[in-house]
A and B are shown apart, each in its own frame.
Chain A
Protein backbone atom coordinates (compact mmCIF):
# COMPACT_ATOMS: atom_id res chain seq x y z
CA UNK A 1 0.00 0.00 0.00
CA UNK A 2 1.20 3.50 -0.78
CA UNK A 3 0.01 6.64 1.01
CA UNK A 4 1.03 10.27 0.98
CA UNK A 5 2.12 11.66 4.34
CA UNK A 6 2.94 15.13 3.06
CA UNK A 7 3.46 16.92 -0.23
CA UNK A 8 6.85 15.36 -0.87
CA UNK A 9 6.84 12.10 1.03
CA UNK A 10 4.94 8.92 0.43
CA UNK A 11 4.97 5.76 2.52
CA UNK A 12 4.93 2.24 1.13
CA UNK A 13 4.05 -0.69 3.36
CA UNK A 14 4.60 -4.40 2.74
CA UNK A 15 4.11 -7.61 4.64
CA UNK A 16 7.40 -9.56 4.53
CA UNK A 17 9.28 -12.43 6.13
CA UNK A 18 12.38 -10.41 6.91
CA UNK A 19 13.48 -11.83 10.24
CA UNK A 20 17.14 -12.13 11.11
CA UNK A 21 19.92 -9.57 11.24
CA UNK A 22 21.29 -11.24 8.17
CA UNK A 23 18.01 -10.70 6.33
CA UNK A 24 18.10 -7.10 7.38
CA UNK A 25 21.61 -6.64 5.98
CA UNK A 26 20.50 -8.06 2.65
CA UNK A 27 17.59 -5.65 2.52
CA UNK A 28 19.83 -2.77 3.50
CA UNK A 29 22.06 -3.46 0.50
CA UNK A 30 19.02 -3.23 -1.74
CA UNK A 31 17.34 -0.20 -0.27
CA UNK A 32 20.30 1.98 0.67
CA UNK A 33 21.26 2.26 -2.99
CA UNK A 34 17.87 3.71 -3.95
CA UNK A 35 18.30 7.46 -4.11
CA UNK A 36 14.70 8.36 -3.65
CA UNK A 37 14.29 6.36 -0.46
CA UNK A 38 14.57 8.61 2.56
CA UNK A 39 14.00 6.20 5.40
CA UNK A 40 13.05 2.60 5.75
CA UNK A 41 12.47 0.20 8.61
CA UNK A 42 11.29 -3.32 9.31
CA UNK A 43 9.13 -4.02 12.35
CA UNK A 44 10.44 -7.45 13.22
CA UNK A 45 8.31 -7.66 16.36
CA UNK A 46 5.10 -7.63 14.38
CA UNK A 47 3.62 -10.81 12.91
CA UNK A 48 3.61 -9.21 9.45
CA UNK A 49 7.27 -8.09 9.69
CA UNK A 50 6.19 -4.86 8.11
CA UNK A 51 8.62 -3.18 5.77
CA UNK A 52 7.97 0.55 5.76
CA UNK A 53 9.58 2.87 3.23
CA UNK A 54 9.43 6.65 3.15
CA UNK A 55 10.37 7.98 -0.26
CA UNK A 56 9.95 10.72 -2.79
CA UNK A 57 7.62 8.67 -4.93
CA UNK A 58 9.59 5.52 -5.60
CA UNK A 59 7.85 2.84 -7.71
CA UNK A 60 6.05 0.42 -5.41
CA UNK A 61 6.24 -2.50 -7.83
CA UNK A 62 9.90 -2.00 -8.50
CA UNK A 63 10.68 -2.24 -4.79
CA UNK A 64 8.50 -5.29 -4.46
CA UNK A 65 10.32 -7.02 -7.32
CA UNK A 66 13.70 -6.22 -5.84
CA UNK A 67 12.78 -7.59 -2.41
CA UNK A 68 11.26 -10.72 -3.92
CA UNK A 69 14.28 -11.20 -6.15
CA UNK A 70 16.45 -11.19 -3.03
CA UNK A 71 14.42 -14.17 -1.85
CA UNK A 72 11.91 -12.62 0.51
CA UNK A 73 8.18 -12.58 0.69
CA UNK A 74 6.85 -9.12 -0.12
CA UNK A 75 3.11 -8.69 -0.23
CA UNK A 76 0.65 -5.87 -0.01
CA UNK A 77 -0.63 -5.43 3.50
CA UNK A 78 -4.39 -5.62 3.08
CA UNK A 79 -6.00 -2.31 3.84
Chain B
Protein backbone atom coordinates (compact mmCIF):
# COMPACT_ATOMS: atom_id res chain seq x y z
CA UNK B 1 0.00 0.00 0.00
CA UNK B 2 1.33 3.41 -0.92
CA UNK B 3 0.44 6.94 -0.03
CA UNK B 4 -0.34 9.89 -2.25
CA UNK B 5 2.71 11.66 -3.59
CA UNK B 6 2.09 15.33 -4.24
CA UNK B 7 5.28 16.04 -6.15
CA UNK B 8 4.40 13.27 -8.60
CA UNK B 9 0.89 14.61 -8.93
CA UNK B 10 2.28 18.03 -9.76
CA UNK B 11 4.69 16.63 -12.35
CA UNK B 12 1.83 14.72 -14.00
CA UNK B 13 -0.34 17.84 -14.17
CA UNK B 14 2.38 20.11 -15.51
CA UNK B 15 3.48 17.67 -18.20
CA UNK B 16 -0.10 16.93 -19.23
CA UNK B 17 -0.86 20.60 -19.80
CA UNK B 18 2.39 21.06 -21.68
CA UNK B 19 1.59 18.10 -23.95
CA UNK B 20 -1.94 19.29 -24.66
CA UNK B 21 -0.76 22.81 -25.49
CA UNK B 22 2.01 21.56 -27.75
CA UNK B 23 0.30 18.62 -29.43
CA UNK B 24 -3.43 18.98 -28.86
CA UNK B 25 -5.72 16.60 -26.99
CA UNK B 26 -4.87 13.71 -29.30
CA UNK B 27 -1.19 14.18 -28.52
CA UNK B 28 -1.83 13.10 -24.95
CA UNK B 29 -2.04 9.47 -23.90
CA UNK B 30 -1.57 7.98 -20.44
CA UNK B 31 1.48 6.07 -21.68
CA UNK B 32 3.16 9.09 -23.28
CA UNK B 33 2.36 11.20 -20.27
CA UNK B 34 3.90 8.62 -17.93
CA UNK B 35 7.13 8.75 -19.89
CA UNK B 36 7.20 12.53 -20.06
CA UNK B 37 6.45 12.98 -16.36
CA UNK B 38 8.87 10.22 -15.43
CA UNK B 39 6.31 8.17 -13.51
CA UNK B 40 4.75 4.79 -14.24
CA UNK B 41 1.34 4.58 -15.94
CA UNK B 42 0.12 2.90 -12.74
CA UNK B 43 0.85 6.09 -10.83
CA UNK B 44 -1.26 8.15 -13.20
CA UNK B 45 -4.14 5.74 -12.81
CA UNK B 46 -4.10 6.22 -9.06
CA UNK B 47 -5.29 9.77 -9.63
CA UNK B 48 -7.24 9.60 -12.88
CA UNK B 49 -9.44 6.92 -14.34
CA UNK B 50 -8.77 7.73 -17.98
CA UNK B 51 -7.64 10.48 -20.33
CA UNK B 52 -10.99 12.28 -20.34
CA UNK B 53 -11.11 12.26 -16.56
CA UNK B 54 -7.56 13.64 -16.46
CA UNK B 55 -8.40 16.46 -18.86
CA UNK B 56 -11.51 17.55 -16.96
CA UNK B 57 -9.70 17.41 -13.62
CA UNK B 58 -6.84 19.47 -15.04
CA UNK B 59 -9.33 22.10 -16.07
CA UNK B 60 -10.92 22.17 -12.61
CA UNK B 61 -7.54 22.68 -10.96
CA UNK B 62 -6.43 25.38 -13.38
CA UNK B 63 -9.79 27.12 -13.00
CA UNK B 64 -9.43 27.12 -9.21
CA UNK B 65 -5.97 28.63 -9.52
CA UNK B 66 -7.30 31.30 -11.85
CA UNK B 67 -10.25 32.10 -9.60
CA UNK B 68 -7.99 32.50 -6.58
CA UNK B 69 -5.87 35.00 -8.54
CA UNK B 70 -8.86 36.86 -9.97
CA UNK B 71 -10.66 37.23 -6.66
CA UNK B 72 -7.59 38.43 -4.78
CA UNK B 73 -8.50 41.64 -2.94
CA UNK B 74 -11.89 41.68 -4.67
CA UNK B 75 -15.19 42.36 -2.94
CA UNK B 76 -18.54 42.21 -4.79
CA UNK B 77 -19.57 45.33 -2.85
CA UNK B 78 -16.89 47.47 -4.45
CA UNK B 79 -18.04 50.35 -6.64
CA UNK B 80 -18.31 49.31 -10.27
CA UNK B 81 -15.30 51.29 -11.39
CA UNK B 82 -13.07 50.17 -8.55
CA UNK B 83 -14.16 46.53 -8.87
CA UNK B 84 -13.75 46.38 -12.61
CA UNK B 85 -10.32 47.98 -12.41
CA UNK B 86 -9.20 45.35 -9.92
CA UNK B 87 -10.69 42.63 -12.12
CA UNK B 88 -8.77 43.94 -15.10
CA UNK B 89 -5.51 44.08 -13.15
CA UNK B 90 -5.94 40.60 -11.70
CA UNK B 91 -7.03 39.04 -14.97
CA UNK B 92 -4.27 40.69 -17.02
CA UNK B 93 -1.63 39.64 -14.52
CA UNK B 94 -2.88 36.07 -14.34
CA UNK B 95 -3.02 35.74 -18.13
CA UNK B 96 0.46 37.12 -18.60
CA UNK B 97 2.00 35.00 -15.85
CA UNK B 98 0.29 31.73 -16.76
CA UNK B 99 0.51 31.41 -20.50
CA UNK B 100 0.40 27.61 -20.69
CA UNK B 101 -2.56 27.41 -18.38
CA UNK B 102 -4.35 30.08 -20.37
CA UNK B 103 -3.72 28.39 -23.65
CA UNK B 104 -4.99 25.09 -22.24
CA UNK B 105 -8.20 26.69 -20.97
CA UNK B 106 -8.80 28.26 -24.39
CA UNK B 107 -8.36 24.85 -26.04
CA UNK B 108 -10.95 23.39 -23.68
CA UNK B 109 -13.37 26.17 -24.52
CA UNK B 110 -13.46 25.16 -28.17
CA UNK B 111 -13.50 21.40 -27.56
CA UNK B 112 -16.15 18.81 -26.64
CA UNK B 113 -14.70 18.83 -23.10
CA UNK B 114 -16.22 22.23 -22.53
CA UNK B 115 -19.62 20.82 -21.57
CA UNK B 116 -18.21 18.51 -18.90
CA UNK B 117 -15.98 21.32 -17.60
CA UNK B 118 -18.68 23.97 -17.40
CA UNK B 119 -20.67 21.70 -15.12
CA UNK B 120 -17.79 21.88 -12.67
CA UNK B 121 -17.42 25.65 -12.87
CA UNK B 122 -16.19 27.27 -9.68
CA UNK B 123 -19.31 28.38 -7.77
CA UNK B 124 -17.53 30.95 -5.65
CA UNK B 125 -16.39 32.73 -8.79
CA UNK B 126 -19.83 32.71 -10.40
CA UNK B 127 -21.53 34.13 -7.33
CA UNK B 128 -18.88 36.82 -6.78
CA UNK B 129 -19.24 38.01 -10.38
CA UNK B 130 -23.03 37.87 -10.23
CA UNK B 131 -23.23 39.79 -6.95
CA UNK B 132 -20.81 42.41 -8.25
CA UNK B 133 -22.97 43.06 -11.31
CA UNK B 134 -26.24 43.07 -9.39
CA UNK B 135 -24.89 45.48 -6.80
CA UNK B 136 -23.67 47.84 -9.51
CA UNK B 137 -27.05 47.76 -11.26
CA UNK B 138 -28.82 48.47 -7.96
CA UNK B 139 -26.56 51.45 -7.31
CA UNK B 140 -27.22 52.69 -10.85
CA UNK B 141 -23.56 52.41 -11.84
CA UNK B 142 -24.26 49.87 -14.56
CA UNK B 143 -26.97 49.33 -17.17
CA UNK B 144 -28.89 46.08 -17.36
CA UNK B 145 -27.71 43.95 -20.29
CA UNK B 146 -27.85 40.36 -21.46
CA UNK B 147 -24.95 38.61 -19.74
CA UNK B 148 -23.06 37.94 -22.98
CA UNK B 149 -23.32 41.57 -24.04
CA UNK B 150 -22.11 42.72 -20.63
CA UNK B 151 -19.12 40.36 -20.74
CA UNK B 152 -18.22 41.32 -24.29
CA UNK B 153 -18.09 45.00 -23.41
CA UNK B 154 -16.63 44.66 -19.91
CA UNK B 155 -13.89 42.07 -20.47
CA UNK B 156 -13.35 41.25 -24.15
CA UNK B 157 -11.41 44.52 -24.81
CA UNK B 158 -9.00 43.64 -22.02
CA UNK B 159 -8.44 40.08 -23.21
CA UNK B 160 -7.84 41.27 -26.75
CA UNK B 161 -5.20 43.76 -25.61
CA UNK B 162 -3.56 41.11 -23.41
CA UNK B 163 -3.45 38.76 -26.38
CA UNK B 164 -1.70 41.35 -28.53
CA UNK B 165 0.66 42.13 -25.67
CA UNK B 166 1.62 38.49 -25.34
CA UNK B 167 2.20 38.12 -29.06
CA UNK B 168 4.23 41.31 -28.89
CA UNK B 169 2.46 42.48 -32.01
CA UNK B 170 -0.21 45.10 -32.62
CA UNK B 171 -2.45 45.57 -35.63
CA UNK B 172 -1.05 45.25 -39.15
CA UNK B 173 2.01 43.56 -37.74
CA UNK B 174 3.22 46.54 -35.73
CA UNK B 175 6.08 45.27 -33.69
CA UNK B 176 6.80 45.73 -30.01
CA UNK B 177 3.22 46.30 -28.91
CA UNK B 178 3.14 46.59 -25.14
CA UNK B 179 0.07 46.96 -22.98
CA UNK B 180 0.97 49.41 -20.23
CA UNK B 181 -0.86 50.77 -17.22
CA UNK B 182 -1.81 53.99 -19.03
CA UNK B 183 -3.29 52.22 -22.02
CA UNK B 184 -5.21 49.86 -19.79
CA UNK B 185 -6.68 52.75 -17.80
CA UNK B 186 -7.62 54.57 -21.02
CA UNK B 187 -9.49 51.52 -22.29
CA UNK B 188 -11.09 50.89 -18.91
CA UNK B 189 -12.48 54.44 -18.86
CA UNK B 190 -14.09 53.89 -22.27
CA UNK B 191 -15.64 50.64 -21.11
CA UNK B 192 -17.02 52.24 -17.96
CA UNK B 193 -18.44 55.09 -19.99
CA UNK B 194 -20.19 52.61 -22.27
CA UNK B 195 -21.68 50.68 -19.38
CA UNK B 196 -22.89 53.64 -17.30
CA UNK B 197 -26.66 54.32 -17.25
Interface check B22, CB cutoff 8 A:
no
Docked-complex contact B2 and A43, CB < 8 angstroms: no
Complexed CA–CA distance, A5 and B40 (Å):
17
Give Cα A3 to B3, complex, Å.
6
Q: Is there a chain B Cβ closer than 8 Å to A78's Cβ?
A: yes
**Stretch of B46-54, B83-91, B117-125 contacting A (4+ beta carbons < 8 Å):** B46-54
Interface residue ranges of B35-50 to A (CB < 8 Å): 40-43, 45-47, 49-50
Q: Bound complex: CA of A47 vs CA of B43, how far in Å?
A: 15
B3 touches A50 (CB 8 A): no
Contact in complex: B29, A1 (CB < 8 Å): no
A10 contacts B29, CB within 8 Å? no
Q: A3-B1, A10-B1 are in contact. Are A41 and B50 (CB under 8 A)?
A: yes
* Interface 0/1 of A40-52, CB less than 8 Å to B: 0101011110101
**Does A74 touch B at the CB level, under 8 Å?**
no
Tell whether A27 is near chain B: CB-to-CB under 8 Å. Answer: no
Query: Interface range on chain B: under 10, 10 to 19, 20 to 34, or 35 or more?
Result: 10 to 19
Q: Which residues of A contact B49 (CB under 8 A)?
A: 41, 43, 52
The reply to whether A48 and B41 form a contact with Cβ atoms under 8 Å apart is yes
**Residue among A6, A13, A41 facing the most chain B CB atoms (10 A cut-off):** A13
The number of chain A residues touching the other chain, given as a range, is: 20 to 34
Q: Is A2 an interface residue (CB 8 A)?
A: yes
| A4-B3 contact given A45-B51, A46-B30, A46-B31, CB 8 Å threshold | yes
What's the Cα separation between A46 and B45 when bound, in Å? 11
CA distance A6 to B3 in the complex (A): 8
Distance to closest chain A CB from B101 (angstroms): 24
Q: Which of B2, B29, B30 contacts A3 (CB 8 A)?
A: B2
Bound Cα distance from A1 to B51, whole angstroms: 19
With CB as the reference atom, state the residue of chain B lying closest to A41: B49
Question: Which one of A2, A4, A13 lies within 8 Å of B4 (CB-CB)?
Answer: A4
Interface hits, B1-31 → A, CB 8 Å: 1-4, 29-31
Name 9 interchain pairs, CB-CB below 8 A, sorted by A.
A2-B2, A4-B3, A6-B4, A10-B1, A11-B46, A13-B45, A43-B51, A45-B29, A46-B29
6 other A-B residue contacts (CB within 8 Å) besides A43-B45, A45-B29, A78-B40: A1-B42, A13-B42, A46-B29, A46-B51, A47-B31, A79-B40
